Every structure is written in structure tokens, then in C-alpha cells.
């Protein structure tokens, strides 16, 4: 085997893929071409193990303005506005260097949104770490949160929501998924397809350096290996540079002087130029000598694959080039014409007059083979199952569940984020089940991000369906109708049959749930190879959903008010299978109960209309920790106790008291308000759809459910629920210790 042939393996290409490249080129690639192919044919860029599955997803709808394939998806809202949104992962970089990995994850998702011409107005994050009793997990948690806060707060975009789970399978491979929401006029959105041979190709933003070489595109395309020092592969972010770049790009788009705009993300100039040319059916020439560099002496391949942050690539008509450069100069944003659009159908890399790389666009971007998965259902439960709960009394169980890091208040984290900058935030974190943002021309949008990898591990199909339903339930609680979905599919190594089975079943669950709800998938991300020698993560599809509500003043809240009557609404049939309680008892295993999607959809629509009518103020869906935790959270949020008799629900649904209190599953809501309004609701839907269970008042949480009665002082419940902060504090450690933790 030649040195060149051995080189492709080091870059992550298989022998058959290398042979395919030689066939497409009609010759062996040189070092620069091979580097470019290795990145665009990586899992992160090519989706070679997931693209066939993604074709199952419903992507069309009357509100869809931009769907999969663009920098972000966009849907129409109101008469003439658009909401652009997307979620992406920065998992492996964050596991290697948590602060910069998380910070640049936020920066990248912001660029995806303003590349469409939409102004970013909100960020949400979905995070997974190992158990909080692990020093490594506390270190990663602290630095990831700090990185998100640093970037979002500095650039002035509100972080309005998210979720954090702590589970043992994420110990060695944390997940950091970031979602961005942007607003624009529908007619002002711009696409990324290059057009017009002879038009200039302009790079905007920060100078190009060696940081990020082999970064997200490589780190996210292979399993993390213990002991490898990959910190140089993680990009370095500068939110102040991005703020200037964002304002500059939005002004250029407003002036109408850009033909196309593309973010430089994973694989840098290689992916941005290749994807723009592929979408436009054109070619592009790039002269690396014209690219502004922050480090002298960079080789052409380094320039082409650098993942330096805060950069964009634009196509500009020659007659508008001086105007574009003038706007960039005024914003103190670096800019340079580095090439031109051609009609050759090829990507050519030049060094002055010398051609150092020449590849067909079709081969580079779309020539990567797509692989059929070889799924095989695993034989039994394959994940850790550590028991940590000794309590048996219902009172003690509730307190342990409220204190469980995955259930407990995440105030310690979100208080580090600015959630109100921009003056659009109507519902802050923990005030409601979904974030609510006011629109300039009336009305509002609501946003939620959800996923429960533990339940997906129990049943990849049903668990994924539940994640979609959870998002829709959260939107219903504030009176919002879903408009579109974005997703991030976080899984282990798809070349392993058990992971392939999880991915296949999860993708089908996502497709079926979105189809049943009538909500299109407008974009997303796939993150595979999230595993180490210790094993894979839980299969974790993260769902982001955007909805519309007519009156932000009627958006539901999570807190009870003294004297409220309380009802459980929906086809809620809780089970301990896959629940937080089952996890604490070390009693996890395959299987989740089935609940038809159309039945849950009817409940979602009912709750949405009830909340829009404005007669009820409190709505909270039942999720982690079950009904007892949901009631306790409503009580804590409102600062008032709860008295509830659940015996009628136990009898009607055929439950044990314990499963009624702590069981989980889709389709359950806690609704509260004036007794007359609650009674009217129950009368309209019958006892199968709503049951009055009690009222708000006093300073205790008193729940009766057959054999499982409990009484807890509200102050004790709140103390348990807010305990995460004290356990997360004190994570600052020396750099020497940090190296040992990585």
C-alpha cells in the first residue's frame, strides 16, 4: 500500500471510499484534495449513515418557507413574517473542551439563522452529562453552561429555555445541542445557492487560522478515544466578532447586495464553497492567497479546512463589490474577494496562478456513498442500571424525585443566561412549559426543546414519539399551535447493529409522530459516533418545536394560585416503565406502554384551545417524575400548597397508587383555575378526558392515591427541588486536574 493510500485511512476514509474518489476523479487525489474529500465525506457533513432514513420525514406544509437543505428551516407566522430555526450538536468538541465547545456551538447555530437573513432573537439548549456525583460531569456541566452564557450574553441574544439531564451513559460523551430562533420578513429570506458565473466570492468576518483544523467534521465522525488530546481541534469563539459580523450581514441583506450567503461551519471553506456550488449547479474558484490569515505560512489545505469561527461566505455581483466591502469596513468586519463563481461545475483551489486542487462539485459534495444500516434489536438491556434510592415511603420518594438532578430546578444554570435581552420574552424559564416571545406586529411564538434518552433506550420508536408529543404538549400549555420541527439525532456508532436498530426505529417514530400531528420537519442535524470504549450514549433524539399563539397575554403559566381548582386532563395512563423512579431504583429495562398518537393529539388540541380562551391560567404537562412531581412543581411555582385526591383516577385508569403518583407517559396535563371553569371543562369532555382532583391552598402538598398517601411541607419540597445548585457549586478545579478528568 502506498503512502497516499495509507493517508486516507488516517483521515477517516475507508478503502472502498478512497477507490470511489479515484474513480470519480479519474486519478489519485493530491493531499489537499484528499483532505477536502475526507471532510465532506465525513459522517458529520455527508450523513452517509442517516440520509436514507431522513427521507422518511415529512418536510412539506402550507407554512414552510425553507426546508431541509438550507442553513436553517423557516416557517411563516402572521401575515408576512417568518420564523427561522434550527438545532445542531457540538457534542465531541464540548467533551474535549467544554467552554469553547459549547460557546462555538452557540456561535455556529446563530450563523445558520442569520445566514437566511433572520435576526436571531433566542437560543435554547439541550444538555446531557453523566451523573452529578461524578467530578468529570460537574466539571463539564459548569464549563458548558459558562460557555453558553459567555457567547449568548455577549452577543445579546436571549437564552430562553432548554433542558438538562444527568445519566450515566453520558459520562464519557456529553451532549451539547443548541437551538436558535430568528425573525425576518418572509419576502426577505435569502438562500445559499451560488449563482451567476463571474460573480465574486467574498469571505466575511474573522481571519482564518489553524484553530479548528480537523474540528467538528472529524471529531463528530468517529468515536472519542480516551487519552487523546484533541483540544487543538476545538474552535475558539469570539462573540464580539460575531456580533459585528451578524449586524454587517443583516445590513448587506437588507440592502439587497448579496446573491447568496453561507455560514462557514464544519469543514470551513471546503463545505461552504462546495455546498453553495452544489445547490446552484455552478463551480467556484478560490485563491487561498487572497484569504485573510491570522497566522503566516498556512498551507492551502489548512486554509481550506480550517474551522475558524465567525466567518461567512457570500456571492456578490462585481458591480456591488465595492459597496459590500464598504459596509464591511464600516462594521469593522474583515472582508475580501477570494474567488469567483464559474460555470465549470468544479471546485478549483488556486495559489495565485497555480491550481493546487481541482474536483468536480458533484463528486465532492454528493459523491459520497450512502450506507444501508444493518439493524439488529439488542438482546435485553445493555446500559448501566445503578440503584440509588432506598426510600419506600411515598413522601420520601417524592422528595428524592424532586431532588434528582434530571428533575430538579435548573435555576443554577439558567440564571447565568440573560433570558430577557431584546425585550421579547413573555415567559421566562420555569415560568411556563414553553418559552414565549412577543412578535412586533402582534401575536407571539412559543418554543420548546425536549428529549428523554432513557425512555428512547427503553423503546426507540415509542420513546421518540413521546419526545415529539412532549414538545407539542409544552406548546399547548401556553396556547400555541405547532408550525414546524427541527431535530438533532444523537446516537452511538451506526455501524454497530444495536445502534443501527435504535436509529432506524427512532427515525420512524419521528416521522410517524410528525405526520400524525401535521407538523413538518424543516431541518436539523445528525450526530453519530457518540460513544467510547465504555459504551454508547442513550439514543437521544432531541426535538425542537416552534408554535404560534394569538395573544401572549393569555400564555399559560406553570404556577398555581390560591383557591384554584385542579384537574388532570388527557388520556394519561402512567406506568413506572422507563420512569425516573425506575431509574433511581435500578429497575430499567426494555419496553414502554403504547398510547395512540391520535388520542394524545386530541388532548393537545383541547388544552391549546382551553388556554387560548383565557379562562384557565395554569397548565403544566406531566413528564419526568410523574403526576406527583408535576403537582409539586405547580405548587412551588405558585408558592401555594396542594390538596388532591387521586383515588378516582386510580380506579378509572386501573392504576396502583404508586404508578398514579410517579408513573410517566404521554398525554397528561395538570390544568387549574376558577372552579366554575374547571367544572365546565370536565362537563364538556367527560371523565375519560378530565378529572377534578383537588385544589390549591395551604402550605403542604397532600396527595391521596389508594395505598400511596403522602404529605410534604411545601418548603421541604421546594428545598429538595432547588438543591441542584448546591451540588453543582464548587466545581472549579485546577487546569492540571481538568486534564485528568478529560
- 588: which 3 cell numbers? 430499567
Give the per-residue pLDDT at 688: 79
Find the CATH number of the domain harbouring 32: 3.90.650.10
Section 496-523 average pLDDT: 98
Maximum separation of any 2 CA atoms in the chain, in Å: 83
Domain around 36: 18-47+190-370
- Phi/psi class of residue 246: alpha, beta or left (left: φ > 0; alpha: ψ in -120 to 50)? alpha
Alpha helices in 312-358 (DSSP H): 321-330
DSSP 119-152: EEEEEEEEEEES-TTSHHHHHHHHHHHHHHHHHH
In the block, cell 452577543 appears at 155
Confirm if 579 and 629 have CB atoms less than 8 A apart: no
- 605: which 3 cell numbers? 388540541
The 3-state secondary structure of 639-673, one letter per residue: CCCEEEECHHHHHHHCCCHHHHHHCECCCCEEEEE
Phi–psi pair at 361, nearest 5 degrees: -60, -45
Measured over the CA atoms of residue 242, residue 244, residue 247 and residue 249, the dihedral's sign is: negative
Residue 340 lies in a domain: yes
Q: Which residues of 391-421 are buried (b: 16+ CB within 10 A; e: fewer)?
A: eeebbebbbbbbbbbbbbbbebbbebbbbeb
Taking the C-alpha atoms of residue 73 and residue 83, their distance in angstroms, rounded to an integer, is 8
Taking the C-alpha atoms of residue 461 and residue 126, their distance in angstroms, rounded to an integer, is 20
Q: What is the pLDDT of residues 348-364, one digit of tens each?
A: 999 999 999 999 999 99
At 233, the pLDDT band (50, 70, 90 cuts) reads low
- 647: which 3 cell numbers? 383515588
Whether the per-residue pLDDT at 254 is higher than 50: the answer is yes
Would you tell me how many other CB atoms lie within 10 Å of the CB of residue 334?
21
Could you give the 3-state DSSP secondary structure of residue 563?
Answer: coil
Strand 119-129 to 354-360 pairing: unpaired
Taking the C-alpha atoms of residue 407 and residue 721, their distance in angstroms, rounded to an integer, is 8
Q: What is the pLDDT of residues 18-72, one digit of tens each?
A: 999 999 999 999 999 999 999 999 998 999 999 999 999 999 999 999 999 999 9
Could you give the 3-state DSSP secondary structure of residue 263?
Answer: strand
The 3-state secondary structure of 558-578, one letter per residue: CCCCCCCEEEEECCCCCECCC
Taking the C-alpha atoms of residue 378 and residue 496, their distance in angstroms, rounded to an integer, is 10
Residue 616 lies in a domain: no
Q: Which of 449, 310, 312, 347 is nearest to 40 (CA)?
A: 347
Q: Which of 690, 689, 670 is nearest to 476 (CA)?
A: 670
Could you give the 3-state DSSP secondary structure of residue 161?
Answer: strand
Whether the per-residue pLDDT at 128 is higher than 90: the answer is yes
Q: What is the percent of the chain where pLDDT is above 70?
A: 94
Residue 229 lies in a domain: yes
Q: What is the pLDDT of residues 523-565, one digit of tens each?
A: 999 999 999 999 999 999 999 999 999 999 999 999 999 999 9
Give the per-residue pLDDT at 355: 97
Give the per-residue pLDDT at 736: 40
The answer to whether 44 is a known catalytic residue is: yes
Section 177-202 average pLDDT: 96
Section 652-659 average pLDDT: 94
User: What distance, in Å, lies between the first and last C-alpha atoms of the chain?
Assistant: 35
Q: Which of 339, 318, 319, 151 is nearest to 246 (CA)?
A: 151
Identify the active-site residue in 8, 90, 143, 172: 90
Taking the C-alpha atoms of residue 162 and residue 435, their distance in angstroms, rounded to an integer, is 9
Measured over the CA atoms of residue 615, residue 618, residue 623 and residue 628, the dihedral's sign is: negative
Residue 333 lies in a domain: yes
In the block, cell 388556554 appears at 611
Give the per-residue pLDDT at 219: 43
Alpha helices in 239-378 (DSSP H): 239-255, 268-280, 300-305, 321-330, 361-366
Section 106-114 average pLDDT: 96
Whether the per-residue pLDDT at 730 is higher than 80: the answer is no
List Cβ neighbours of 453 (8 Å cut-off, separation of 6 or more): 128, 165, 167, 169, 170, 490, 537, 538, 539, 540
Give the per-residue pLDDT at 222: 52
Give the per-residue pLDDT at 226: 45
- Phi/psi class of residue 229: alpha, beta or left (left: φ > 0; alpha: ψ in -120 to 50)? beta
Whether the per-residue pLDDT at 310 is higher than 90: the answer is yes
Residue 305 lies in a domain: yes
Q: What is the pLDDT of residues 378-434, one digit of tens each?
A: 999 999 999 999 888 999 999 999 999 999 999 999 999 999 998 899 998 999 999
At 740, the pLDDT band (50, 70, 90 cuts) reads very low
Q: What is the pLDDT of residues 475-487, one digit of tens each?
A: 999 999 999 999 9
Give the per-residue pLDDT at 4: 56
Residue 42 lies in a domain: yes
Q: Which of 150, 152, 149, 176 is nearest to 163 (CA)?
A: 176
Tell me which of 308 and 219 has the higher pLDDT.
308
Q: Can you name the residues that pair with 68 across neighbouring β-strands?
A: 70
- Cα–chain-centroid distance for residue 544? 6
Give the per-residue pLDDT at 739: 39
Q: What is the pLDDT of residues 597-634, one digit of tens each?
A: 999 999 999 999 999 999 899 999 999 999 999 999 99
Give the per-residue pLDDT at 67: 95
The length of the chain is 742
Give the per-residue pLDDT at 236: 81
Section 665-672 average pLDDT: 97
577 to 31, 383, 390: CA distances (angstroms): 53, 15, 18
Taking the C-alpha atoms of residue 89 and residue 99, their distance in angstroms, rounded to an integer, is 14
Taking the C-alpha atoms of residue 191 and residue 261, their distance in angstroms, rounded to an integer, is 7
Q: What is the pLDDT of residues 260-276, one digit of tens each?
A: 999 998 889 999 999 99
Confirm if 585 and 577 have CB atoms less than 8 A apart: no
Give the count of domains, the chain. Answer: 1
C-alpha radius of gyration, the chain, whole number:
26
H or E element, residue 537:
none
Give the per-residue pLDDT at 5: 59
Mean pLDDT of the chain: 92
Residue 366 lies in a domain: yes
Please tell me what DSSP assigns to residue 335: E
Identify the active-site residue in 44, 49, 172, 620: 44
At 78, the pLDDT band (50, 70, 90 cuts) reads confident
Give the per-residue pLDDT at 104: 93
Residue 737 lies in a domain: no
Give the per-residue pLDDT at 729: 64
Amino acid at each position: 500500500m502506498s503512502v497516499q493510500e495509507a493517508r486516507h485511512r488516517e483521515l477517516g476514509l475507508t478503502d472502498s471510499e478512497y477507490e470511489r474518489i479515484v474513480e470519480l476523479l479519474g486519478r489519485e487525489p493530491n493531499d489537499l484534495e484528499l483532505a477536502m474529500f475526507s471532510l465532506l465525506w465525513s459522517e458529520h457533513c455527508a450523513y452517509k449513515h442517516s440520509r436514507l432514513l431522513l427521507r422518511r420525514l415529512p418536510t412539506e406544509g402550507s407554512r414552510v418557507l425553507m426546508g431541509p437543505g438550507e442553513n436553517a428551516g423557516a416557517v411563516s407566522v402572521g401575515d408576512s413574517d417568518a420564523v427561522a430555526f434550527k438545532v445542531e450538536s457540538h457534542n465531541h468538541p464540548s467533551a474535549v473542551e467544554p467552554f469553547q465547545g459549547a460557546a462555538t456551538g452557540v456561535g455556529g447555530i446563530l450563523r445558520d439563522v442569520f445566514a437566511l437573513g433572520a435576526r436571531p432573537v433566542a437560543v435554547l439548549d439541550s444538555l446531557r452529562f453523566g451523573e452529578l456525583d461524578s467530578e468529570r460531569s460537574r466539571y463539564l456541566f459548569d464549563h458548558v453552561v459558562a460557555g453558553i452564557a459567555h457567547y449568548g450574553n455577549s452577543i445579546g441574544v436571549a437564552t430562553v429555555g432548554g433542558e438538562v439531564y444527568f445519566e450515566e451513559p453520558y459520562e464519557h460523551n456529553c451532549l451539547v445541542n443548541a437551538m436558535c430562533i430568528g425573525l425576518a420578513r418572509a419576502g426577505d429570506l435569502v438562500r445559499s445557492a451560488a449563482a451567476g458565473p463571474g460573480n465574486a466570492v467574498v469571505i466575511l468576518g474573522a481571519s482564518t487560522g489553524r484553530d479548528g483544523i480537523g474540528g467538528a467534521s472529524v471529531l463528530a465522525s468517529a468515536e472519542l478515544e480516551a487519552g487523546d488530546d484533541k483540544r487543538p481541534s476545538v474552535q475558539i469563539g469570539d462573540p464580539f466578532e460575531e456580533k459585528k459580523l451578524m449586524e454587517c450581514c443583516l445590513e448587506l441583506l437588507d440592502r439587497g447586495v448579496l446573491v447568496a450567503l453561507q455560514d462557514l461551519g464544519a469543514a470551513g471553506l471546503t463545505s461552504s464553497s462546495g455546498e453553495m456550488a452544489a445547490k446552484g449547479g455552478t463551480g467556484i474558484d478560490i485563491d487561498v492567497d487572497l484569504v485573510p490569515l491570522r497566522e503566516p505560512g498556512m498551507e492551502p489545505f489548512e486554509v481550506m479546512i480550517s474551522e475558524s469561527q465567525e466567518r461567512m461566505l457570500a456571492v456578490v455581483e462585481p458591480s456591488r463589490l465595492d459597496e459590500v466591502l464598504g459596509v464591511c469596513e464600516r462594521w469593522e468586519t474583515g472582508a475580501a474577494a477570494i474567488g469567483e463563481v464559474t460555470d465549470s461545475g468544479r471546485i478549483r483551489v488556486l495559489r495565485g496562478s497555480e491550481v493546487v486542487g481541482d474536483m468536480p462539485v458533484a463528486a465532492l459534495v454528493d459523491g459520497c456513498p450512502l450506507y444501508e444500516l444493518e439493524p439488529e434489536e439488542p438482546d435485553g438491556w445493555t446500559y448501566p442500571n445503578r440503584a440509588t434510592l432506598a426510600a419506600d415511603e411515598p413522601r420520601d420518594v417524592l422528595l428524592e424525585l424532586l431532588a434528582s438532578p434530571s428533575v430538579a430546578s435548573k435555576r443554577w444554570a439558567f440564571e447565568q443566561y440573560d433570558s430577557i435581552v431584546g425585550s421579547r420574552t413573555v415567559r421566562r424559564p420555569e415560568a411556563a412549559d414553553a418559552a414565549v416571545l412577543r412578535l412586533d406586529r402582534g401575536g407571539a411564538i412559543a418554543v420548546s426543546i425536549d428529549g428523554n434518552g432513557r425512555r428512547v433506550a427503553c423503546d426507540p420508536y415509542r420513546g421518540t414519539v413521546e419526545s415529539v408529543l412532549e414538545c407539542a404538549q409544552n406548546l399547548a400549555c401556553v396556547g400555541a399551535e405547532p408550525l414546524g420541527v427541527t431535530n438533532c439525532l444523537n446516537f452511538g456508532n451506526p455501524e454497530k447493529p444495536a445502534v443501527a436498530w435504535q436509529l432506524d426505529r427512532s427515525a420512524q417514530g419521528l416521522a410517524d409522530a410528525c405526520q400524525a400531528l401535521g407538523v413538518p420537519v424543516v431541518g436539523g442535524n445528525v450526530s453519530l459516533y457518540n460513544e467510547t470504549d465504555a459504551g454508547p450514549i442513550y439514543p437521544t433524539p432531541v426535538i425542537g418545536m416552534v408554535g404560534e399563539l394569538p395573544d401572549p397575554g393569555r400564555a399559560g403559566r406553570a404556577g398555581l394560585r390560591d383557591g384554584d381548582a385542579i384537574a388532570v386532563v388527557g388520556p394519561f395512563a402512567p406506568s413506572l416503565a422507563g420512569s425516573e423512579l425506575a431509574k433511581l431504583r435500578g429497575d430499567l429495562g426494555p419496553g414502554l406502554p403504547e398510547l395512540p398518537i391520535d388520542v394524545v393529539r386530541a388532548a393537545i388540541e383541547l388544552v391549546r384551545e382551553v388556554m387560548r380562551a383565557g379562562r384557565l391560567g395554569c397548565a403544566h404537562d406531566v413528564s419526568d417524575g410523574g403526576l406527583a412531581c408535576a403537582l409539586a412543581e405547580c405548587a412551588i411555582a405558585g408558592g401555594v400548597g396542594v390538596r388532591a385526591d387521586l383515588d378516582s383516577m386510580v380506579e378509572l385508569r386501573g392504576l396502583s397508587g404508586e404508578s398514579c403518583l410517579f408513573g410517566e407517559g404521554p398525554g397528561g396535563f395538570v390544568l387549574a383555575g376558577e372552579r366554575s371553569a374547571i367544572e365546565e371543562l370536565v362537563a364538556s369532555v367527560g371523565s375519560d378526558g378530565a378529572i377534578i382532583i383537588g385544589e390549591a391552598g395551604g402550605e403542604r402538598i397532600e396527595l391521596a392515591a389508594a395505598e400511596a398517601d403522602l404529605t410534604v411541607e411545601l418548603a421541604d419540597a421546594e428545598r429538595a427541588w432547588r438543591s441542584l445548585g448546591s451540588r453543582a457549586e464548587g466545581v472549579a478545579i485546577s487546569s492540571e486536574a481538568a486534564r485528568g478528568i478529560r
